Amino acid sequence: MKDIKNIIENHWSKKNKNTNLKLRWWQSGLIIRHINKIVCGEEISGFSQGLIELTRSMASHQLPFNRGISIGGGAGQKEMNLLRHGIVKTFDIYEYSKERIEIGMNIAKKQSLEEKINFIYGDAFDLIIPNEQYDFIHWNNSLHHMLDVDKAVEWSKNVLRLGGLFFMDDFIGPSRFQWPDEQIDFATKIRKIFGGSKYLKNPKTGLGFLATSTSRPDINKLIDTDPSEAADSGNIVAAIFKHFPKTQFKATGGIVYNLVLNDMLNNFDEDEDKIILDLLMVIDKLCLQLGQTHYGVALAFKER
């Protein structure tokens, strides 16, 4: 287990170095506004802002929550956003990457939030005996990195006080990104429409074109790179409803914005190509209505 943790730490310490390329959906303001509208009914800017607004609506009588905990919080920007919006008063953030913790501490200091955030290096499951000491638990694209999501969600419930809030915005798609055949076929058909055009040029090399076909990643290579990547993601929704039966859950899509637009997103201008991107978001929403999704949000109060 120690070796796995070291691999994960090294991977996330090296990940997301500075780049000017826009390769993933979370770098797109248009897509984020699209997702926020699904979540809260308003096309607002800001990552997870739709879920924040939904939290205001559902938990207005409890805001701000006194003490929050975040697992795999990285540099803590999402948690700082929750602090600024008055959702939580203080945060304990557990993180494997020392480099990300250092970056987060510097950001917190610049934003005068260092007294409200406590970064802890290590595994929260090893360091905390869950005895209902928190009012708010935050999972934001980190729950899908848990090797056993059922145990992680059960632990989350046990660490919450009665009336505390479970807050999740995460990838809930197939474990290890093993896309089903129908998603692969659908995504490939759409990418082929852009074949030979500027939209499918390879943004990383500036030469040639990206593949028009979509495929599953090699599981062994994925595990070698990051043993935690989507390790048990396919079981997230079931685990949440098992431990929080009255969960407010919304699927937020992703067949198009996550699978089709992967890497090629950099070739779109969000102003000049807005009509095309809007149409692609309509298609993504149609997939969502057919039960096809990669992402979802959840809010749940601990009742007992």
Report CA Rg, the chain.
19
pLDDT, tens digit (0-9, with 9 covering 90-100), for 104-145: 999 999 999 999 999 999 999 999 988 999 999 999 999 999
User: Does residue 62 register a pLDDT over 80?
Assistant: yes
Q: If you ran DSSP here, which 8-state letter would residue 258 be given?
A: I
- 197 neighbors 135 (Cβ within 8 angstroms): no
Average pLDDT, integer, range 195-207: 94
CB–CB of 252/293 below 8 Å?
yes
Question: How large is the angle between the packed helices 49-58 and 29-40, nearest 10 degrees?
Answer: 20
19-28, 153-162, 244-253, 294-303, range with the lowest pLDDT: 19-28
CA neighbor of 196 nearest in space, from 215, 212, 214, 213:
212
186 close to 287: Cβ distance less than 8 angstroms = yes
pLDDT of 31 higher than 70: yes
CB 107 within 8 A of CB 135: no
249-269, pLDDT tens digit by residue?
A: 999 999 999 999 999 999 999
Residue with tokens 């205001």: 56
| Among the four given CATH numbers 3.40.50.150, 3.40.50.2300, 1.10.10.10, 3.40.640.10, the one describing domain 2-301 | 3.40.50.150
pLDDT of residue 188: 97
Q: What is the pLDDT of residue 7?
A: 64
Q: Which pLDDT does position 79 carry in this prediction?
A: 98
CB 155, CB 130: distance < 8 Å: yes
Task: Kindly report, residue by residue over 139-198, the tens digit of the pLDDT.
Answer: 999 999 999 999 999 999 999 999 999 999 999 999 999 999 999 999 999 999 999 999
Q: Which two tokens stand for residue 1?
A: 């287990």
Residue 17 clears pLDDT 80, i.e. is over it: no
- Say what the pLDDT of residue 20 is: 84
Report whether 191 contacts 197 (CB < 8 A).
no
Q: In this structure, is the dihedral angle defined by the CA atoms of residues 210, 214, 220 and 223, taken in order, positive or negative?
A: positive
Where do the structural domains in the chain lie, given as residue ranges? 2-301
